[in-house]
Amino acid sequence: MAANIDYMMEMVKDYLSGKTPRYIFELDFQTEILARYKRMVREHREFAELFYDLLSEGGVDLGDGLSDAEFKRLIRRQYNEVKSIADGGFC
Protein backbone atom coordinates (compact mmCIF):
# COMPACT_ATOMS: atom_id res chain seq x y z
CA MET A 1 0.00 0.00 0.00
CA ALA A 2 1.39 3.40 -0.99
CA ALA A 3 -0.48 5.62 1.45
CA ASN A 4 1.70 8.70 1.01
CA ILE A 5 1.75 8.54 -2.77
CA ASP A 6 -2.00 7.96 -2.83
CA TYR A 7 -2.50 10.92 -0.49
CA MET A 8 -0.49 13.27 -2.71
CA MET A 9 -2.19 12.08 -5.89
CA GLU A 10 -5.59 12.58 -4.25
CA MET A 11 -4.57 16.09 -3.15
CA VAL A 12 -3.82 17.02 -6.76
CA LYS A 13 -7.01 15.35 -7.97
CA ASP A 14 -9.06 17.33 -5.43
CA TYR A 15 -7.56 20.58 -6.68
CA LEU A 16 -8.19 19.69 -10.32
CA SER A 17 -11.80 18.74 -9.59
CA GLY A 18 -12.44 22.07 -7.87
CA LYS A 19 -12.76 20.68 -4.34
CA THR A 20 -9.73 22.69 -3.17
CA PRO A 21 -9.01 26.32 -4.08
CA ARG A 22 -5.62 27.19 -5.54
CA TYR A 23 -4.24 29.06 -2.54
CA ILE A 24 -5.04 26.16 -0.20
CA PHE A 25 -3.65 23.63 -2.67
CA GLU A 26 -0.36 25.51 -3.09
CA LEU A 27 0.17 25.87 0.65
CA ASP A 28 -0.87 22.32 1.49
CA PHE A 29 1.08 20.82 -1.40
CA GLN A 30 4.36 22.39 -0.30
CA THR A 31 3.81 21.33 3.31
CA GLU A 32 2.81 17.78 2.46
CA ILE A 33 5.50 17.08 -0.14
CA LEU A 34 8.16 18.11 2.39
CA ALA A 35 6.60 15.94 5.09
CA ARG A 36 5.89 12.88 2.92
CA TYR A 37 8.60 12.70 0.26
CA LYS A 38 10.98 10.36 2.12
CA ARG A 39 8.09 8.00 2.85
CA MET A 40 6.96 8.21 -0.77
CA VAL A 41 10.47 7.15 -1.84
CA ARG A 42 10.27 4.12 0.46
CA GLU A 43 6.89 3.20 -1.05
CA HIS A 44 8.07 3.49 -4.67
CA ARG A 45 11.23 5.39 -5.55
CA GLU A 46 10.58 5.85 -9.27
CA PHE A 47 7.05 7.12 -8.74
CA ALA A 48 8.11 9.48 -5.95
CA GLU A 49 10.87 10.96 -8.10
CA LEU A 50 8.55 11.30 -11.08
CA PHE A 51 5.88 12.94 -8.93
CA TYR A 52 8.37 15.37 -7.44
CA ASP A 53 9.96 16.25 -10.78
CA LEU A 54 6.71 16.80 -12.66
CA LEU A 55 4.25 18.05 -10.07
CA SER A 56 6.48 19.87 -7.61
CA GLU A 57 9.38 21.25 -9.64
CA GLY A 58 7.62 21.28 -13.01
CA GLY A 59 4.21 22.25 -11.66
CA VAL A 60 3.54 23.99 -8.37
CA ASP A 61 6.98 25.62 -8.21
CA LEU A 62 6.32 27.29 -11.58
CA GLY A 63 2.96 28.73 -10.54
CA ASP A 64 4.08 32.25 -9.67
CA GLY A 65 2.90 34.65 -12.33
CA LEU A 66 0.39 32.25 -13.85
CA SER A 67 -3.30 33.00 -13.86
CA ASP A 68 -5.55 30.53 -12.07
CA ALA A 69 -6.59 29.00 -15.39
CA GLU A 70 -2.98 28.70 -16.61
CA PHE A 71 -1.91 27.17 -13.31
CA LYS A 72 -4.71 24.61 -13.40
CA ARG A 73 -3.82 23.67 -17.00
CA LEU A 74 -0.18 23.22 -16.01
CA ILE A 75 -1.04 21.04 -13.01
CA ARG A 76 -3.53 19.00 -15.06
CA ARG A 77 -0.92 18.43 -17.80
CA GLN A 78 1.73 17.38 -15.26
CA TYR A 79 -0.72 15.15 -13.34
CA ASN A 80 -1.79 13.42 -16.56
CA GLU A 81 1.86 12.90 -17.50
CA VAL A 82 2.58 11.29 -14.10
CA LYS A 83 -0.42 8.99 -14.51
CA SER A 84 0.51 8.12 -18.08
CA ILE A 85 4.08 7.18 -17.22
CA ALA A 86 3.02 5.26 -14.13
CA ASP A 87 0.32 3.38 -16.06
CA GLY A 88 2.98 2.44 -18.62
CA GLY A 89 5.10 0.82 -15.93
CA PHE A 90 7.98 3.34 -15.96
CA CYS A 91 9.39 1.94 -19.20
pLDDT at res. 90 = 60
In contact, 75 and 55? CB cutoff 8 Å: yes
- Amino acid at residue number 10: E
Q: What is the reported pTM?
A: 0.92
Neighbours of 10 (CB within 10 A): 11
Question: What long-range pairs does 27-30 form, CB within 8 A, spacing at least 24?
Answer: 29/56, 29/60, 30/60
Picking from 76, 68, 88, the residue whose alpha carbon sits closest to that of residue 17 is 76
Mean pLDDT of 57-76: 97
Spell out where 33-79 has E strands. Answer: none
How do residues 22-58 score in pLDDT, each as one tens digit?
Answer: 999 999 999 999 999 999 999 999 999 999 999 999 9
